[in-house]
Amino acid sequence: MFTCGEQLFSCEVSITLSSGQDRKFGSRTVSSPSKKSAKSKAAMEAIKWLRETGQLDEARTPRKKQNALSSSVNRSETDYGELKSPEDALPIASPNNTPGNETFVSQVSVLARRLGIREPLYVNVPSDPQIQGFWNCSASFPGDPKFPGSIGEVHNVLGKKTAKEECARWVWEYLKEIEAERMQKKNAFLAAMAEKARAQEAQQA
């Protein structure tokens, strides 16, 4: 069962084994950038422990029930639909992420064009070759000296598409800051020009 903290940035996974013991992973007190990433980290921690102890097969059956319960509990917030695979276990984007319910990937594309820069290149790599379904993702702007290095790196995210979307969220916030800075400079320039025009009119009067 997934239990999210009050801020929706922490997550704790509880697995009940056939012995009747409960094993908890993740933490209610450790924060993450989003609810999806918090759930992914807790789930990856659980999968690693299950594999190391040879109990992965034992936990498969209740895991399906847990996923169904989690989907039912959270359906008022986001309709996750049927969980078919780790790639589909989490939604690509929350309905409240961006205006018009668009994904951050699409919003980054629009924002990049508006700023006159190239769209970023997203690179996904497996978080752990021994555990399928978890990905790291980063973005970069190749050939653009204004954006050296990687931006928006995320780690241990469940689902390749979700990892890209989590990365795009950080890129979107980064580009929004650039847009706000440009707008501030533009407004300052226009204000200075208006003040100069008023001063010239006062001299001619």
Task: Please report whether residue 94 resides in a domain.
Answer: no
CB 9 within 8 A of CB 38: yes
d(CA 205, CA 188): 26
**157 and 183 assigned to the same domain:** yes
Is the residue at 140 inside a domain? yes
120 and 198 in a single domain? The answer is yes
Q: Considering its fold, how many domains does the chain have in total? A: 2
- The amino acid occupying position 141 is F
Question: Are 130 and 181 part of one and the same domain?
Answer: yes
What tokens were used for 33? 């950038």
- State pLDDT tens for residues 53-94: 766 554 443 334 344 333 333 332 333 333 333 443 344 444
Q: What is the pLDDT of residue 89?
A: 38
* Phi/psi-derived region of residue 134, left when phi > 0, alpha when psi is between -120 and 50, beta in every other case: beta
In three-state secondary structure terms, 159 is: coil
Range(s) of the domain holding residue 192: 99-204
**Do residue 71 and residue 116 come from a single domain?**
no
CATH number, domain with residue 199: 3.30.160.20
Domain presence at residue 17: yes
- Is the domain of 77 the same as that of 103? no
Distance CA 181, CA 183 (A): 5
Determine the pLDDT at residue 88. Answer: 39
- pTM of the entire predicted model: 0.55
Encoding tokens for residue 184? 């501030």
